[in-house]
Chains A and B, each alone.
Chain A
């Protein structure tokens, strides 16, 4: 059963506009949420995280929002740049065991110049 879901397999955005990537989860024991960016033939690269006790975390062009009541988080990238084109994975940490991450299936972002 997929505990972390990314329902949009792809997203296209014009350069300079905002990209919004969404993620839903089911397990209320997750204590941290993370976003990773992945290029082909490379491992995922950590972008930004948010604790379950916060609702917003910002780092440069990247902002993550968490809505615990809806079990939903989103990553905003603004302004979007062509170099942001990649697959973005949402991940959640399970604090009850190994602190391993549960990943969504990814959203492929294409930023059009």
Chain B
């Protein structure tokens, strides 16, 4: 399977804990995006990478969120000191412009 993969698929954590998600994009795509989707809404942009450079961050990405893409390959999204409002589906997409191809998402539940 050469699509976008994400790990884990589900994460349940207690408020205040840190969590980290991983995304493996389609190998020939140099752009990688993170989105967040809550119930009844479409995905909302969080941040994006061109190769290893993080070029833009949305105002949704508070200081508790950090993303990396070492060596321009896989990416990680870390949320520190999780809050109940962080509960959502976190989606990763890699891009062969103009289309973006999404992974299956990581569903985060903060108790």
- The answer to whether A89 and B42 touch (CB under 8 A), given A32-B98, A98-B55, A99-B31, is yes
Given A98-B55, A99-B31, CB of A42 within 8 Å of CB of B105:
yes
Among A12-20, A43-51, A70-78, the one that faces the other chain is A43-51
Across the interface, name the chain B residue whose C-beta is closest to A100.
B45
Residues of A within 8 A of B31 (CB): 99
CB pair A49–B43 under 8 Å, yes or no, is: no
Contacts A43-B104, A44-B102, A100-B48 known; list 10 others, CB within 8 Å: A34-B98, A43-B93, A43-B105, A44-B43, A46-B101, A91-B42, A93-B98, A98-B45, A100-B58, A103-B41
A-B contact pairs, 13 of them (CB 8 A): A4-B42, A34-B98, A34-B100, A42-B105, A43-B102, A46-B99, A49-B98, A99-B97, A101-B33, A102-B45, A103-B43, A105-B40, A106-B42
- Give the size of the chain B interface in residues (CB under 8 angstroms): 28
B5-61 interface with A by 8 A CB criterion: 6, 31, 33, 35, 40-45, 48, 55-56, 58
B98 touches A97 (CB 8 A): no
A4 to B101, CA, bound (A): 19
> Which residues from A are CB-within-8-Å of B48?
98-100
Residues of A contacting B: mostly: strand
- Count A-side interface residues using an 8 Å CB cutoff: 26
Which residue of B is nearest A94, CB measured?
B45
Of residues 44 to 60 in A, which have CB atoms within 8 Å of B's CB atoms?
Answer: 44-46, 49, 51
Contact residues of B between 91 and 111, Cβ < 8 Å to A = 91, 93, 95, 97-105, 107
Contacts of A99 in B (CB 8 A): 31, 48, 95, 97-98
